[in-house]
Amino acid sequence: MASTDAQETTAGSAGVNGPTRARIGARTLRTDTWWLYPLATFVVFSGFVVFATYRAFDGDNYFVEPYLSPFYSPCLTDSCQAGSSDFGQPISWWSLSPALIILIFPLGFRLTCYYYRKAYYRAFWLSPPACAVAEPHAKYTGETRFPLILQNIHRWFWYAAVVVALILTYDAVLAFGPAEGEPDGIHMGLGTVLMWANVVLIWLYTLSCHSCRHITGGRLRHFSKHPVRYRMWTFVSKLNARHGTYAWYSLFSVAIVDFYIYLLATGAFDDPRFF
């Protein structure tokens, strides 16, 4: 009987009401607007999820020469719009939207990201909703059980994210090409500017990742014996300090570029050309 009681006590000891926690009846003693950040995160993330889900399943209005939406790059199925498959169409059996094949990789990278974990754990699961604010859950098991134990594959998604960033960079280079009906040569429109801004933010977010920091400088006993990796680690560490900022900015930039190309594809307006 005593063994059973001990197991029950251990199981609940990780919660905010565990025997090792301070006995404070109030949910929090904070008097500031601590709820504002998780609320804003919830609203923005929910809006992005709704928008991205609609665009991913839409399967249309994602390519206007020379612009290809980042949601659909690379376009690899035989249902891709003409001119949008820069790497061929090797997946001929896929009958759904081409975006559903690609988005799993940047989506997996963001879902397992250390910053995004903190953000959506607080905003959606209230675990906890903010610092010094009690969470409503009775116990806490961390990321040691399914499905959260899958967060450990973040590093592998980082490798995929690097490939995606390289492809988006290639798309941004192609964005200097002429639009339909224009003479050959180098051209630049507002879409080109937006695509390059998005690529820069995507690279900043990817390279500032905690996994990238560990890959460049982890498992070393002496930095003095690895000067190149030390310089790389120092550079990534500086970026890492603003990883959360780049996460937000790149989230907005991806949605803005896709929506801009959608507007061009639907004929809402013509792309302003600078030269």
Query: Where in the sequence is the domain holding 71, given as residue range(s)?
Result: 33-265
- Residue 52 belongs to some domain of the structure: yes
Arithmetic mean of pLDDT, 11-24? 61
d(CA 267, CA 77): 25
- Residue 2 belongs to some domain of the structure: no
- Residue 25 belongs to some domain of the structure: no
Arithmetic mean of pLDDT, 20-29? 72
What integer pLDDT is reported at residue 2 of this predicted model? 46
> Is pLDDT above 50 for 1?
no
**More confident of the two residues 136 and 71:** 71
Overall domain count for the chain: 1
The model's confidence at residue 6, banded by pLDDT at 50, 70 and 90, is: very low
- Residue 38 belongs to some domain of the structure: yes
Whole-structure pTM value: 0.88
- Residue 119 belongs to some domain of the structure: yes
Chain centroid, CA 164 distance in Å: 12
- Residue 21 belongs to some domain of the structure: no
The model's confidence at residue 28, banded by pLDDT at 50, 70 and 90, is: confident
Mean pLDDT of the chain: 90
> Is pLDDT above 50 for 3?
no
- Residue 14 belongs to some domain of the structure: no
What integer pLDDT is reported at residue 137 of this predicted model? 78
Arithmetic mean of pLDDT, 63-78? 96
> Is pLDDT above 80 for 27?
no
- Residue 205 belongs to some domain of the structure: yes
Pairing of strands 67-68, 63-64: antiparallel
What integer pLDDT is reported at residue 44 of this predicted model? 96
First to last CA, the chain: 81
